[in-house]
C-alpha cells in the first residue's frame, strides 16, 4: 500500500456522492435537494420535506395533502409489534426497544428483502409513518397500557404529538413540534446515516439499514445528546445553577452536551438558531413561567460556553427544552429524533441502492508483525 493519510473518525474524508443534502458551512446553510433547510422549516411542513427527500421534489399543496393521507393510512402498526415490545424489559433503553421494533417491522413487509430503489421508496413511506406510531407509544406499551392508535382526521405532526402527550395540542404546539421534525429530518452524512449507507451497500434491505441507524443514533455523541441536555438543565435548576454546573464540568474537563459539532467547528448550528427562535415563540405563546426560565437558562449557558470555549450550541441544545415545554418525556427525545430522521435515512438508502458501491475501507495497522506460532 502506498502512502496514505490517516484521518481519525474519517474527519474531512469524502465518503460518497449524494444529491440529497450538503452542509455549506461557509454560507451557514444546510442544503436539502437545493433548498435551505431553514427556509423549509419556516415556510413548509414536515410532510413537504418527506416528499422532497423521498420523491426528490417539493410537493405541490395537493400532492402534500395526498402524501399526508398516504402516511396516515399506513401508520397503523401490526399488533404483533406491540406484543414483541411488551415482552421486552421495561428498564431496557427506549432506543433499544425501538431498534427491536424497527427490525421486526420487516417481517410484515412482503418486499422486505428487496434492494430495489423504487421498492425502498414505497416501503420507506410505511416505515416513516409506522416509526412515529411506535415511538409515540414506547412508554405507554412498556408500562402495560394499550397503544394510542393514529387519528387520520389530524395532520401528520398533530397526530404524532397527540399520540405522545395524550391530549389535544394547540396549533402553536403542533407548529413547534413540526419544526423540530424538519430540523432533524436530514443532515448529510452523520454516523447513523453513514451506518445505514454502509449496511445498504452490501445490498442489505431497508429495514436492516434502518436498524443499524437506530443503534448508531442511541449514543450520546450522536442522537442521545438531546436527552443529556435536558438532564443537565434540570440538574442545574436555574441560570446561576447552570453557569456553575458548566464551569464545574469544564474544570473537570468533561464534555458539555449540546455544544460543538464535528462540522460546525466555530459557528452555531443553523438548526440550533431555528429552534432557539421556536422555543422563544412557543414559550411566549403559552405564557409559561417555567418555559421563560428555560429560555434564560439556555441563553446563559450559550454565553458561558462561547466565552470560555468558543463553542456554540448544536441542534440538541434547543430541541431538548422545546420538547420539555411540549410535555414530552425525556425518554422519547432520541426516539423522536429517529422518527424524524427516517425520511432522510430512507432517501439515502434509495440513493445507495440506485448507485451502489460496497464500502470497504482499509486500516492503518499498528500491531506487531513477524510473531511465530
Are 176 and 92 members of one domain?
A: yes
Within the chain, where are the H helices?
37-43, 46-55, 61-73, 79-87, 94-105, 117-142, 156-165, 171-185, 191-200, 206-217, 225-236, 239-251, 270-286, 289-309, 315-325, 333-354
Say which CATH number the domain at 304 has: 1.10.230.10
Confidence at residue 266, expressed as pLDDT on a 0 to 100 scale: 66
User: Residue 252, class by beta-carbon neighbours within 10 Å (0-12 exposed, 13-18 middle, 19+ buried)?
Assistant: exposed
Residue 369 domain-assigned? no
CB 15 within 8 A of CB 189: yes
Residue 8 domain-assigned? no
Confidence at residue 263, expressed as pLDDT on a 0 to 100 scale: 67
CB 160 within 8 A of CB 177: yes
**161: which residues sit within 8 A by CB, 6+ positions away?**
169, 173, 174, 177, 326
Q: Which residue has the cell 436539502?
A: 32
Confidence at residue 264, expressed as pLDDT on a 0 to 100 scale: 60
Are 208 and 343 members of one domain?
A: yes
Pick from 321, 286, 302, 39: nearest CA to 173: 286
Residue 61 domain-assigned? yes
CB 245 within 8 A of CB 360: no
What would you report as the CA-atom Rg of the chain, rounded to the nearest whole angstrom? Answer: 21
Residue 367 domain-assigned? no
* Count: domains in the chain: 2
Residue 13 domain-assigned? no
Are 213 and 252 members of one domain?
A: no
Active site residues: 261, 316
Confidence at residue 268, expressed as pLDDT on a 0 to 100 scale: 83
Confidence at residue 123, expressed as pLDDT on a 0 to 100 scale: 96
Confidence at residue 3, expressed as pLDDT on a 0 to 100 scale: 61
Are 169 and 80 members of one domain?
A: yes
Q: What is the pLDDT along the chain (373 residues), one digit of tens a residue?
A: 456 788 888 888 888 999 999 998 888 899 999 999 999 999 999 999 999 999 999 999 999 999 999 999 999 999 999 999 999 999 999 999 999 999 999 999 988 888 999 999 999 999 999 999 999 999 999 999 999 999 999 999 999 999 999 999 999 999 999 999 999 999 999 999 999 999 999 999 999 999 999 999 998 877 788 999 999 999 999 999 999 999 999 999 999 988 976 666 567 889 999 999 999 999 999 998 999 999 999 999 999 999 999 999 999 999 999 999 999 999 999 999 999 999 999 999 999 999 999 999 988 889 999 999 9
Confidence at residue 40, expressed as pLDDT on a 0 to 100 scale: 97
DSSP state of 57: S
Question: Residue 49's domain spans which residues?
Answer: 29-218+331-354
Say which CATH number the domain at 169 has: 1.10.580.10
Are 135 and 164 members of one domain?
A: yes
Confidence at residue 360, expressed as pLDDT on a 0 to 100 scale: 93
Residue 192 domain-assigned? yes
Amino acid at each position: 500500500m502506498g502512502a496514505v493519510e490517516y484521518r481519525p473518525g474519517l474527519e474531512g474524508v469524502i465518503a460518497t456522492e449524494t444529491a440529497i443534502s450538503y452542509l455549506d458551512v461557509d454560507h451557514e446553510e444546510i442544503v436539502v435537494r437545493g433548498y435551505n433547510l431553514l427556509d423549509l422549516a419556516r415556510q413548509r411542513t414536515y410532510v413537504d420535506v418527506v416528499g422532497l427527500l423521498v420523491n426528490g421534489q417539493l410537493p405541490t399543496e395537493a400532492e402534500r395533502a395526498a402524501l399526508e393521507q398516504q402516511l396516515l393510512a399506513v401508520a397503523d402498526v401490526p399488533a404483533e409489534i406491540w406484543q414483541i415490545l411488551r415482552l421486552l424489559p421495561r428498564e431496557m433503553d427506549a432506543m433499544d426497544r425501538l431498534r427491536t421494533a424497527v427490525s421486526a417491522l420487516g417481517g410484515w413487509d412482503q418486499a422486505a428483502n428487496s434492494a430495489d430503489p423504487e421498492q425502498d421508496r414505497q416501503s420507506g413511506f410505511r416505515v416513516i409513518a409506522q416509526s412515529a406510531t411506535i415511538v409515540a407509544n414506547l412508554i405507554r406499551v412498556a408500562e402495560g397500557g394499550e397503544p394510542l392508535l393514529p387519528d387520520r382526521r389530524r395532520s401528520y405532526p398533530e397526530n404524532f404529538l397527540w399520540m405522545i402527550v395524550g391530549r389535544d395540542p394547540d396549533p402553536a404546539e403542533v407548529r413547534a413540534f413540526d419544526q423540530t421534525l424538519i430540523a432533524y429530518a436530514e443532515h448529510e452524512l452523520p454516523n447513523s446515516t453513514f451506518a445505514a449507507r454502509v449496511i445498504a451497500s452490501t445490498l442489505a434491505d431497508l429495514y436492516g439499514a434502518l436498524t443499524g441507524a437506530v443503534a448508531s443514533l442511541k449514543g450520546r455523541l450522536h442522537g442521545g445528546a438531546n436527552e443529556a441536555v435536558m438532564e443537565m438543565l434540570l440538574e442545574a435548576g436555574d441560570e446561576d445553577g447552570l453557569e456553575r454546573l458548566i464551569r464545574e464540568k469544564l474544570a473537570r474537563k468533561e464534555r458539555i452536551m449540546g455544544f460543538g459539532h464535528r462540522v460546525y467547528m466555530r459557528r452555531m448550528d443553523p438548526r440550533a438558531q431555528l429552534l432557539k427562535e421556536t422555543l422563544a415563540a412557543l414559550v411566549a405563546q403559552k405564557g409559561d413561567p417555567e418555559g421563560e426560565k428555560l429560555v434564560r437558562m439556555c441563553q446563559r449557558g450559550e454565553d458561558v460556553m462561547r466565552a470560555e470555549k468558543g463553542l456554540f450550541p448544536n441542534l440538541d441544545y434547543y430541541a431538548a427544552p422545546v420538547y420539555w415545554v411540549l410535555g414530552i418525556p425525556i425518554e422519547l427525545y432520541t426516539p423522536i429524533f429517529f422518527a424524524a430522521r427516517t425520511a432522510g435515512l430512507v432517501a439515502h438508502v434509495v440513493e445507495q441502492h440506485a448507485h451502489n458501491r460496497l464500502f470497504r475501507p482499509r486500516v492503518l495497522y499498528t500491531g506487531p508483525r513477524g510473531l511465530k506460532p
